[in-house]
Structure 1
Amino acid sequence: MIDRRRLLRTSGAAAVGALGAAAPSAAASAAEPARGPSPRPGGDPDPTGGVTRTLLQEHPSPAKGWETVQTLVQIPRHKESGRHSHPGVEVGYIVRGDVLMEFDDRPPLRLRTGDPFFIPEGAVHNARNVGKVTTMMLSTYVVDETKPLVTTY
C-alpha cells in the first residue's frame, strides 16, 4: 500500500498513480469501448498536465475499515482531472474557479466558486476547468481503507 502522506504534489496521471490508482488491465481496456466525453477540439496531448493534488490530511474514520482523506486539487485553465472514481464518497467545495463536473451516468454539473458538491461512491467522473483561472477544489473522501483512493479509466 502506498503511504499517501508522502505524496505532496505531483501532476496529472502520475498523481492519480501515486495516490494508489488501480490501472485497468490491457485486456479490459481493449474490450471496453471508450466512455465519457469525446476528445477536445485541438486534441490536447496531455489534458491532465499540470493538475496537482496536495494531501492535506488523512485520519482513520470512526467507522471501522474506513478512512478520511482531504486534498486540495488544482486544475489549470483548459485542463481536467481525468475520468476516475473513488471507493467511497467525495464531499467537495470549489475554493476558486469554474468546473464542469462530468459523469458517466448522469448529466454534467456546472460548479463555480463557493459551490459545494457531492460524488457518490464509485461514480465515474471528470472535473474539467472551464473558467479563466486555475481552479482550486477542496475534496474530502470517506473511503474503504483497503482500496486505492483513485481508480482511473
Structure 2
Amino acid sequence: MNIVRITMGALVVASLAAHLHSAQAQTPEVHRTDLARHDLSVPGREGIQVRVDFDRGAFAPKHSHPGEEIAHVLQGTLEYQLADQQPVTLNAGESLFIPAGTPHSARNVGSGQASELATYIVTKGAPLVVPGK
C-alpha cells in the first residue's frame, strides 16, 4: 500500500511539473538581439540597432527611449500605440518614427512570429529602455 501511495504521489508531482513547464513555454515573449552600437559625430549621442522578435501574441508594454526610434517591420504584423494616439498597424516592409521620450507599446497581432529592426539615436550612457508611465 505504501508503494502505491508513493508511486501515485510521484505521478502527480511529475504531471504538475510537466503542466507548469508547458504553460511557461507557451507564454509569448519579446526577444531582443543587439546588432550594432556606435558613437555618432554629435557629442553625447550614439546609434544603436536591435532586432526585436515577437512570439505570436507577444506584447512589449509601454516604455520610452532617451532619443528617437525608427521601427521597421521585417516580418509579420505589429500594432504600435504611441502615447494617447490611435494604434497603428504595420506589416512587413513598413516603418514608423517614434519621437524621443514618447511612451509607446507594441503587440504582435499577426498569426505567426513578427520581427522589427529598431534603430535608435539616443543619449549615450542613458538606459535604452525606460519603463512606461
Structure 2 counterpart of 1:142: 121
Structure 1 gap ranges (5+): 1-47
Query: Which has the larger helix fraction?
Result: 2
Equivalent pair of 2:62/2:131 in contact (CA under 8 Å): yes
Q: Which residue identity does 1:77 align to in structure 2?
A: R
Q: How does 1:53-92 map to 2 (within 5 A)?
A: 53-92=32-71
For 2:46 and 2:63, how far apart are their aligned partners in 1? 19
Q: Which residue identity does 2:130 align to in structure 1?
A: T
For 1:76 and 1:111, how far apart are their aligned partners in 2? 16
Structure 2 gap ranges (5+): 1-26
How many angstroms does 1:79 deviate by?
Answer: 1.1
How many angstroms does 1:147 deviate by?
Answer: 1.4
Length-normalised TM-score, structure 2: 0.76
Query: Which has the larger strand fraction?
Result: 2
For 1:54 and 1:146, how far apart are their aligned partners in 2? 18
Establish whether residue 95 from structure 1 lines up as the match of residue 80 from structure 2.
no
Length-normalised TM-score, structure 1: 0.66
When the two chains are superposed, the root-mean-square deviation of aligned CA atoms in Å is 1.5
How many angstroms does 1:50 deviate by?
Answer: 2.0
Task: State the secondary structure of the residue aligned to 1:83.
Answer: strand
For 2:121 and 2:32, how far apart are their aligned partners in 1? 17
Q: How does 1:100-139 map to 2 (within 5 A)?
A: 100-139=79-118
Establish whether residue 151 from structure 1 lines up as the match of residue 130 from structure 2.
yes
> Which protein shows a greater Rg?
2
